[in-house]
Amino acid sequence: MNSDQRGGPGAVPMHLIVLAGLASVTYASFVLENLLSPKLDFFNGYVSELSASDQPFHFVYSAGDLITGVLSILVAAGTLRRLTRKPLATAGWVFLGLFGVCAIGDASFPLDCAPSLETWCALRERSENVSFSHEFHSVTSSAVIVCGVAALLLLSLAARRYGWWPALARWGWLLALAESVAALGTLVAMYVGQWLGIVQRVQIGILCLGLLTIAWALYSDRREAAREARDVSDAREGACL
């Protein structure tokens, strides 16, 4: 009896699970800032400033977003192709793919400079004397959060409704809720003018945990399907003796 016969979503190849896990690592490129970008204000600086075009090692952080985006799209496409399609699950994987598209957008439209680090940059930003890339980055960054929250929430709801993916059923909605609270916290921090950097880093950390949870959920289902297949095989061999 395979995973579809037991009412499950099916199992994905191991390489897709590895890609989901890798995406959670590459999206956490900001953890390198103490080593590569120590001048940026950890407490109040935007995470996006790390990949600003005029910052040293900006290509490292942009590469992290780009790789995460590509991996997320591959995972979403692979799951849609191989797993059972039900409305909530399908919508969740689609939003994971859109999350990947927006992460690529973050990498493709970096800030021109770091406003919290350079006064002239902040003045240019306030006078709207910045490039389209600088302005559009806020759109892609907001879309990343929205799509990430939607993917986690929808996959969690699918897991609960269909009896799939225990890890997502248990943690997906909590991570989506925490990410939403952190997003509201970002707005408050922007208004107050303090702690924005910490709140943003928490946001990204939650999304990394979400990607890791997705990878674990897919791995657990694959392991369960393999165990049931072995049990069936052993039962058939016993019946033939």
In a domain, 7, yes or no: no
In a domain, 54, yes or no: yes
The tally of domains found in the chain comes to 1
Instruction: Please determine, for residue 235, whether its predicted confidence score (pLDDT) is greater than 50.
Output: yes
In a domain, 2, yes or no: no
Q: Lowest-pLDDT range, 6-10, 40-44, 163-167? A: 6-10
Which residues have CB under 8 Å from 14's CB, separation 6+?
Answer: 222
Q: Give the model's confidence band at 1: pLDDT under 50 very low, under 70 low, under 90 confident, else very high.
A: very low
Instruction: Please determine, for residue 212, whether its predicted confidence score (pLDDT) is greater than 70.
Output: yes
Q: Please report the pLDDT score of residue 227 as a whole number.
A: 77
In a domain, 143, yes or no: yes
* 37, 116 Cβ separation under 8 angstroms: no
Q: What is the mean pLDDT of residues 207-228?
A: 91
**Token pair for residue 153?**
């929430």
Q: Please report the pLDDT score of residue 2 as a whole number.
A: 37
Domain that holds residue 44: 14-239
Q: Please report the pLDDT score of residue 179 as a whole number.
A: 97
Q: What is the mean pLDDT of residues 165-185?
A: 96
pLDDT digit string, tens, across residues 86-127: 999 999 999 999 999 999 999 999 999 999 888 999 999 999
Type of residue found at 203: Q
**Token pair for residue 12?**
């994905």
In a domain, 189, yes or no: yes
Residues 139, 87: Cα–Cα separation, whole Å = 27
Q: Please report the pLDDT score of residue 130 as a whole number.
A: 95
Q: Please report the pLDDT score of residue 230 as a whole number.
A: 66
Instruction: Please determine, for residue 141, whether its predicted confidence score (pLDDT) is greater than 70.
Output: yes
pLDDT digit string, tens, across residues 12-63: 999 999 999 999 999 999 999 999 999 998 888 889 999 999 999 999 999 9
**Sign of the CA dihedral running 181, 183, 188, 194:** positive
In a domain, 110, yes or no: yes
Q: Is the whole model's pTM more than 0.75, yes or no?
A: yes
Q: Please report the pLDDT score of residue 231 as a whole number.
A: 57
Residue in the block written with tokens 């600088």: 134
In a domain, 4, yes or no: no
Beta-strand runs (E) in 159-215: none
In a domain, 154, yes or no: yes
